[in-house]
Chain A
Amino acid sequence: MSESTHHDHDHDHPHAEISQSERPGFYDVMETAVRELLIGKKLFGADEIRHQIELLDSRTPALGAKVVARAWVDPAFKSRLLANGRAACEELGISFYDDTQLIVLENTEKVHNLIVCTLCSCYPRPVLGLPPDWYKLKPYRARAVSEPRAVLAEFGTHIPDDVEVRVSDSTAMVRFLVLPMRPNGTDGYDEKQLAALVTRDAMIGVIPANAPTGRTAR
């Protein structure tokens, strides 16, 4: 969606973004203005913003899926992951740039976990990337803590009554990642095949991990 413009203006402007064919909106301009003013006052450099964008682009649910797959195949890793989520992720090279801790919540035959942030949008960004809109909007945030089973049903997930639904509401510096149950029919799968079954929504806890292709989900 970029178009080239004539570049006869001053290249010291720290705004090397692709110019848009759409007039920038009110908030877009505000962001540019705040950023340029702060860079002008030398509070940080334009390169830091560019670098952080690259960092954000690199954090996707694929990272979390790899963590889950490793935990499924390596019981000792899983043990370390449940004891200290951040340290175990760091073993795999996943850095926690936002200074948060990570508690990994294991789904079992007895407990089904889901995560929410009622007050804002806390989310395990270092290992899952940015949250989807629905996670940040009122319906999910308001109802996950008061009617989690109805919320799960809206995602097509039904948990038996004898299984505890455990909702974790983030408020401080701990973030959560759900470790879904390993799907049946995946014996002998390697980590790559297993990771392919693990979606972002399964690591939020609203759905289970995907069943192997060709079979119906439980």
Chain B
Amino acid sequence: MQSSIAAGMVYALGEKPIFKPGDAIRILDRSPIGHYRVPLYLRGKAGKVDSVIEPVAVDNEEEGFGRNAGSRRHYYRVAVPMTEIWPDYEGSPRDGLYIEVFETWLEKIAD
């Protein structure tokens, strides 16, 4: 919701978060080689956005190659139930795994 002061103002690409707290999301299932910051154990897992991390920041997977500039996007603190990750999870069904994930690694799950 824009105030009349900012009406017509355009955001930079990536400046506005795509997801918000509570959104059901999936961590994408692609398999990069060479370098990545999303662990294998979480690929393709469904969870929820716990919080949006501010401010926007550079993709750390790009930073690994010395690329410190470029479009900044949001990281999200994402909550994934342990039972979603491990089929034989021994522990409470309430237990959860929280992790920061860059925006380009997430998709919304349709309601």
Contact = CB atoms under 8 A, between A and B. Distances in A.
A62 interface: no
- Residue picked from B57, B89, B92, B101, most chain A C-beta under 10 Å: B92
Contacts of B98: 166-169
Contacts of A37: none
Interface string A142-175: 0001111110000000000111111111111110
A118 interface: yes
A148 B53 contact: no
Given A149-B91, A161-B92, A166-B95, A172 B39 contact: no
A173 B94 contact: no
Contacts of B99: 168-169, 171
A173 B57 contact: yes
A163 B57 contact: no
A101 interface: yes
Contacts of A118: 39, 41
A103 interface: yes
Nearest to A142: B41
B90 interface: yes
Contact of A101 (B53, B60, B90): B53
B56 to A, nearest CB: 11
Contact of A172 (B60, B92, B94, B96): B60
B60 A169 contact: no
A171 B94 contact: no
B18 interface: no
Nearest to A122: B100
A169 B97 contact: yes
Q: Which 8 A-B pairs have the closest CB atoms?
A: A164-B94, A172-B100, A161-B92, A165-B95, A149-B91, A169-B99, A168-B98, A171-B37
Interface of A: 101, 103, 118-119, 145-150, 161-174
29 contacts: A145-B85, A145-B97, A146-B86, A146-B89, A147-B90, A148-B95, A149-B92, A150-B90, A162-B94, A164-B92, A164-B96, A165-B91, A165-B92, A165-B94, A165-B96, A166-B95, A167-B82, A167-B95, A167-B98, A168-B98, A169-B97, A170-B100, A171-B37, A171-B100, A172-B75, A172-B100, A172-B102, A173-B57, A173-B60
